[in-house]
Amino acid sequence: MRRYVHAHTPAPLGLAAAAALLSLSASPAHADPGSDGRDFPITTRIHGGPDTYTAGGGFGTWYLDLTNTTAHPRTGIHPVVVLVDDRRALEPAQPRLEFYDGDRPHPVRFEKTDADELVGAFDDGFPGFTVPPGKTLTVRVRLALTSDTAPDTVTVNAAVVQRHEDDGDWVGQSNDYRFGIDAEPGRTSTPDSSDAPLLFADELARTGLGSPPGLALAATGALLVTGGVILLARRRR
């Protein structure tokens, strides 16, 4: 039997958003034996991104390190990215984000919460990453902004969920990555040399791929995150 606790708490936004988007019954996972006393078994770090992106410009590349601090392999690992812009004006279709599993790109589709944050899961039918015990997996991510994006400052944070069929645990939470959006011509973000295409909601519809599994409940799930302070947790019996 599952119970849900809706608690007003200063929990990090990424965790609450991850619960709503990826698994309606996600719960915090505390350190396992061998986790070296850390709060989460997956240490998560964003690094390498440009300081500025130009609206309508090229892609900027950054990296997400997933370090398994336990003595056991972690499978079904799904990062969930949260974008919070200072003006609360960023729309879901404006960030063009994709992550790589090896050489294969995967699109990330964003949903907007009631508090105007954008939340996007690494889950387009992708089964999740596997991180061996004591090892670090580095995930390549690239981002661009459409030409209609206004100048702004954005904070990126990644929560990590380990998925178990229709359930899941929070297993990681990243540092913040802040960048500016520049609308002035001639100022570009660090370009990405990859020629791989980027598919988003409208393109997915044209290709017949339909709604990615795991995101069908995204719109409903996002409604459960009000102001980024509603924590969904499963009480285990």
Tokens found for residue 157: 């944070």
The pTM assigned to this predicted structure is 0.70
Tokens found for residue 123: 């889950």
Distances in Å between the Cα of 29 and the Cα atoms of 5, 34, 100, 109 are: 15, 14, 26, 26
Tokens found for residue 172: 């990681």
pLDDT at residue 19, as a whole number: 55
- 207 beta partners: none
- CATH classification at residue 100: 2.60.40.10
For residue 142, count other CB atoms closer than 10 A to its CB.
24
In the chain, how many domains are there?
1
pLDDT at residue 198, as a whole number: 39
Distances in Å between the Cα of 54 and the Cα atoms of 42, 98, 143, 185, 195 are: 32, 17, 11, 8, 19
Domain that holds residue 48: 4-234
Low-confidence ranges of the chain (pLDDT < 50): 1-12, 14, 23-26, 30-37, 187-237
Please report which helix (H) or strand (E) contains residue 53, including its range: strand 52-54
pLDDT at residue 165, as a whole number: 73
